[in-house]
Structure 1
């Protein structure tokens, strides 16, 4: 999970940085949302890597924000394409990224739930 989120943080961040630097006026909302997605992915990656109660809490919040974001932006980008003249990471439910942005927060939250159950049973930390 750490590697997946780190790759997405890098990909979304690099894309947003280039778009904001070169074409910001073209689609400011889309480019800012890609930058926000990058920060959310980074927080999730750090949370997964850190572990412990605080790390898990950060990862749960980040995955939850990501899920709400991808669902909201996905619906809005399909309902009002004019509002998104260029794609974001979350446009069309992450269509440009093979729908991984839609699946990733669900998998992340399931992973965190599994790890929490494993820790609650006293089986020690699960590999991350």
Structure 2
């Protein structure tokens, strides 16, 4: 029984976190696809940023699922940190320069308010999860 538990890649809050990242990956992918196909000329930069956000969410979802591997754990860190920087930078620019970033144009606009600020909170939870996961792994090997 303990072998089954130790072979699981994601448990507890990690399962919920990975699920939410998966939902965000689907939502951002769908949104960016519709924006790029239907209205690309209106705001190309924000729509491409939405597509970039979708890619980050897909990578983060996969990396969290496989984060038992050292390489995927590092990729998860990179994706989550990139997401945090993205949401802070795009959120600030969409507030400061709305004529360029159209407040509703990207997943990360206005710090993700179109997604109930989940894009702002999610990387913070991801950082906490990855940091505690590393601490647990160190304790398990000690």
TM bucket, shorter chain: over 0.9
| Unmatched segments (≥5 aa) in structure 2 | 1-16
Which position in structure 1 is the counterpart of 2:70?
53
Task: Give yes or no for the alignment of 1:105 onto 2:130.
Answer: no
Q: 2:114 aligns with which of 92, 96, 99?
A: 96
Task: Give yes or no for the alignment of 1:63 onto 2:80.
Answer: yes
Q: 1:30 aligns with which of 38, 41, 46?
A: 46
In the comparison of the two structures, how many residue pairs are matched? 124
Structure-2 separation of matches of 1:29 and 1:121: 45
TM-score by length of 2: 0.84
Aligned-pair RMSD on alpha carbons?
Answer: 1.3
Which position in structure 2 is the counterpart of 1:8?
24
Larger radius of gyration: 2
TM-score by length of 1: 0.93
Which position in structure 2 is the counterpart of 1:78?
95
Question: Would you identify which runs of 4 or more consecutive aligned residues in structure 1 move more than 3 Å?
Answer: none
Structure-2 separation of matches of 1:72 and 1:33: 11
